[in-house]
Amino acid sequence: MYLFIIAATQRLTEISPGGLPTGAANEATIKTILSIVFGIIGALSLLMITFSGLRYITAAGDPQKTAQAKNGVVYALVGLALALAAQAIVSFVVGRLS
């Protein structure tokens, strides 16, 4: 069994990474893609806040419609906060990769 493990590890060290991309290219690509994704999420969240605000204005005092509009604003704000926190975490982690 011991000889099998030694033979397997020797075979693994012979593997060449070949055409794998370098870390610097991956880091820039990841940052670009994620900033686009988080920008879209933030824009959608702000759009939902605006839409829910308009629903609140046009609720005409109906308690059910008012509650739905308030919930929409709260959920959009929570989504925006989560997107900002996720972007901060990702940029911290990606910054530590190099």
Per residue of the chain (98 residues), give pLDDT as tens. Answer: 666 666 666 665 555 656 655 555 567 777 788 888 888 988 999 899 999 999 999 998 899 999 999 999 999 999 889 888 888 888 888 777 66
Q: Determine the Cα–Cα distance for residues 37 and 6; give it in Å rounded to an integer.
A: 45
Q: Which amino acid is at 54?
A: L
The DSSP H or E segment spanning 67 is: helix 63-97
Assigned domain for 6 exists:
no
Task: Quote the tokens at residue 90.
Answer: 């990702």
Q: How many independent structural domains does the chain possess?
A: 1
Q: Look at residue 34 in the predicted model and tell me its pLDDT.
A: 83
Q: Look at residue 96 in the predicted model and tell me its pLDDT.
A: 76
Q: Which domain holds residue 41?
A: 25-97
User: What number of other Cβ atoms are within 10 A of residue 53's Cβ?
Assistant: 15
Q: Look at residue 7 in the predicted model and tell me its pLDDT.
A: 63
Q: Look at residue 58 in the predicted model and tell me its pLDDT.
A: 93
**How far apart, in Å, are the Cα atoms of 5 and each of 13, 14, 16, 79?**
12, 15, 20, 49
Assigned domain for 12 exists:
no
